[in-house]
Each structure stands twice: as structure tokens, then as C-alpha cells.
Copies of this chain bind each other. A is one copy, B any other.
Amino acid sequence: MSNNHFSIAIHGGAGTILRSSMTAELQAQYEQGLRSALDTGYAILQAGGSSLDAVEAAVASLEDFPLFNAGCGAVFNNKGGHEMDAAIMYGKTLEAGGVCGISHVRNPVKLARAVMQHSGHVLLAGQGAEEFARLQHLPMEDDAYFYTEQRYKQWQEALKEDVVQLDHTDKKYGTVGAVALDKAGNLAAATSTGGLTNKKYGRVGDSPIPGAGTYANNNTCAISCTGVGELFIRSVVSYDISCLIEYKGLSLKDACQLVVHDKLVKIGGEGGLIAIDKYGNIEMPFNSEGMYRACRDSRGRNEVLIYKTSTP
């Protein structure tokens, strides 16, 4: 099936990313963050590692990069804290792990993996999930670790206007994710997010939910989404693409086209996703202005992109 072909794709969120509000320096920083995460995951695949390890490492790298809305760069919620969501899924076994509304965990994607492998459950929430993280001896951080001046300013602005905001004053769906196919033909997907700036009431988006923001199945594809989480949940976006491939015989490209550029557009579901099918084909569709994204495969494809048209 795989001929030892392997591939990885990552994203750092979609939305209104305008060239006009981007400096060359900032763009270089974003590209560096994507490149570093991409190569981290790629190296694991190249060395014969599993897709599960590759997506976990790539997402952890994005979580550790302060410009993306996940891990240390997570946005502030309404109470001035950080509530993060993450998930991971393994296409070989359909095992999945997710966490929602967690604080203090340095790498939520690692907690998601621990949930998958050691909790006997699929989804853990809030303080209970944090308790489990401590039992699993995962690195924990105090609030200061999650402080970035940019995010704090965004929160203060949102508080002033009493709005629940996305990543930026520019409309941006801050999420990070990775999908991969390894040499053994196994698919995996992972997603992590800090959610919405100034969010209230314990809001949970699509990221931590298998079938919504994150899905992997060796029979079809691996998917990680970024966008208006509510509409992605209602549309069961990632499992929808899997079903269009499995039950309707669509190619990954056609399934992505239908879901991202037709079904989601019709309901106002702005955003995008990254996807790899069981043959290693990569799709990175989005219906917003831009999406931080990158991909690399064993046949030589190697891209780091932000806007609709390719970066140089």
C-alpha cells in the first residue's frame, strides 16, 4: 500500500492573514516555526518512526513556538487564564485521545497521547484531565509560562469590547495540527489549540473531538482542522471527509474540495484543514484568506506556505 512512501503536513491556523499587515521579519518567524516543526516530524518518519510519534513531535514543536495559538502561545480566556484543547488519533487502531479545557500542561498533545494510551478513556476535561497529567508526570507550567505580551494585549482589547475573539484582531483561527503517513503505511493526526481570546463558559471547539477537528483511519485518511470550531463540530468535518472517501469513492482531493469549498462555505464555516490519504497524497485546502501550513514527503515535495499563492 505504502511502498515505504511517507509524508507529513502541518498547520498553524487559518484566517484573515493579510500580506499588508505582515512584516518580512514576522513572516520569516512564522516560516521558521513551521519549518522547524515540519522537519522535526519528517526526521522521525525518515528514520522509520511511527506517524503517531511524528505528529506528536510536530505539534509539540508548534506548541512550544509562541506565535501560534497553542501551548505557550495560547490565548487568554475571559478570566485571564488559559484553557487548551488537544487530540491525537492513530489510524492503524482507531485509538484516540483528547483533552479539553486544560491549563498548566506544557504540551497538551502529549497529554492527549497519554489519555489515548494510559487512561482507558478517550476524552478528559478540565481539572480532572490536569490531575491525570500530573499522575502521568507530564511537564507542567505555571501561568507565567503561557504569558506573551501580544496575547495579553489581545485579551485586554477583547475585554474592553466585551467580545469573544479569535486569535487576532484579524480574524484568525488559532490552532495547530499535523497529519502523517509513515513507512509502515500507518496514518495519524493531532491537533492543539488555545481556543478563542476572551472565551467564556468553558467553550470547547472541534480540535479535541475525534471525527470533528481530528481524525485518522488507515482505510481512508488523516485530518487536522482549523476554523470556526462550532461549525466544524456540527459538520463532523474530518469524519465527513473520511466517509466521502470510504462510502462514496471520492479521492482525497475531491472530498476536501466538497467539504471545505462547498459544504463549509455554505454555512459560513471559515477555515481549512490538512489531510493525507493512505497513499501519501497531501491536501491543504482552506476557504479563508490564508493558512499557515507546510508539508514534506519522501518524493521531494517540501513547502512552507501562508497565503493563497505560494510564498517564494
Contact = CB atoms under 8 A, between A and B. Distances in A.
A19 interface: no
Copies assembled? 2
Interface string A199-238: 0111111000111100100000000000001100111100
Nearest to A229: B122
Contacts of A203: 119, 121, 123-125, 128
A101 interface: yes
Contacts of A100: 100, 125, 204
Interface residues of A, number: 44
Interface in A164-213: 164, 200-205, 209-212
B94 A235 contact: yes
Contact of A236 (B95, B120, B211, B244): B211
Contact of A211 (B129, B131, B132, B211): B211
Contact of A124 (B129, B201, B233, B248): B201
A96 interface: yes
Given A125-B125, A239-B211, A201 B132 contact: yes
A243 interface: yes
Contacts of A131: 200-202
A236 B210 contact: yes
